[in-house]
Amino acid sequence: MKPCALVPIYDHGATLARVLDGLASSGLPVLLVDDGSGAETVRAIEQAKARHPQVTSIRHARNLGRGAALRTGYRAAAERGFTHALQLDADAQHDPADAPRFLEAAAADPEALVCGRPIFDESVVRARLFGRQLSRVWVWIETASFAIADPLCGYRCMPLRATLDVLETESCGDHMEFDSEIAVRLVWRGVPVVNVPTHVRYYADGISHFDMWRDNVRISKMHARLFALSLAQRLRFAGGRRAGAAS
């Protein structure tokens, strides 16, 4: 097992130092994927690299979306010889102090997808809790299991070989729908899931790139597609069982 930290970033230069300072004690190499950020964040990235020699970065010339940034990061991490990517956000909502717990879970089961199970405090936006619960229900239906505790939590440790196998054959979304879709598709391929409790905090001055209209439409379309695929799989399985019983 050879892990790295993977941090997608888009105009979160103000919180980047806090995240990287928190990760420093883990000793992990850090790969930043700059998804077309503006000049202020570009400067913050260069300053961070000067302070933390373990940090390297890749830049998209324009903003392509969260899913696209993560795909770039997974492939770059694998090309550098890493087996796992500890993924967390650049907005400081995720606690870098929890990184060892994710890595311990991954070391205990290197084939597993290690997902964060958020523990929210009073800062959480109540409307987001409803959306998260709705996504949980859809994912539980699509996977016919409760394996994934929270499909929207971006704090997770990705087994890169299995992840890249999915990305080679499936077209996952480019935006906020990506986290849920890649988790469901990994479960469909038999990848086990370990859920690690982790504190998540929303900051009053935090920058969110979640577009309430466009991203909710994308997520809804993704779940409709995955539900149709899961239903088709179950119907084929049931048909095969009936055919086998008849013979």
The Cα–Cα gap between 51 and 233 comes to 50
What residues of the chain score a pLDDT lower than 50? none
The number of folded domains in the chain is: 1
Would 25 be classed as within a structural domain? yes
pLDDT tens-place string over residues 181-205: 999 999 999 999 999 999 998 766 6
Q: Tokens 């994927």 — which residue? A: 33
Would 82 be classed as within a structural domain? yes
Q: CATH number of the domain that 85 lies in?
A: 3.90.550.10
Q: What is the pLDDT of residue 215?
A: 81
pLDDT tens-place string over residues 124-156: 766 667 778 889 999 999 999 999 999 999 999
Q: Tokens 């903003």 — which residue? A: 63
Which alpha helices (DSSP H) does the chain contain, by range?
A: 13-24, 39-51, 66-79, 99-108, 126-143, 160-169, 178-188, 214-246
Predicted structure pTM score: 0.90
**Residue 137, phi-psi category: left (phi > 0), alpha (psi -120 to 50), beta (remainder):** alpha
Would 20 be classed as within a structural domain? yes
Would 120 be classed as within a structural domain? yes
Q: What is the pLDDT of residue 201?
A: 85
Domain that holds residue 126: 3-237
- Report angle CA 175, 100, 126 to the nearest 5 degrees: 45
Q: What is the pLDDT of residue 195?
A: 98
Q: What is the pLDDT of residue 163?
A: 98
Would 115 be classed as within a structural domain? yes
Would 243 be classed as within a structural domain? no
At 230, list the tokens.
Answer: 């899961």
For the chain, the C-alpha Rg in angstroms (whole number) is 18
Q: What is the pLDDT of residue 202?
A: 78
Q: Are 57 and 31 contacting, i.e. CB atoms less than 8 angstroms apart?
A: yes
At 170, list the tokens.
Answer: 């499936």
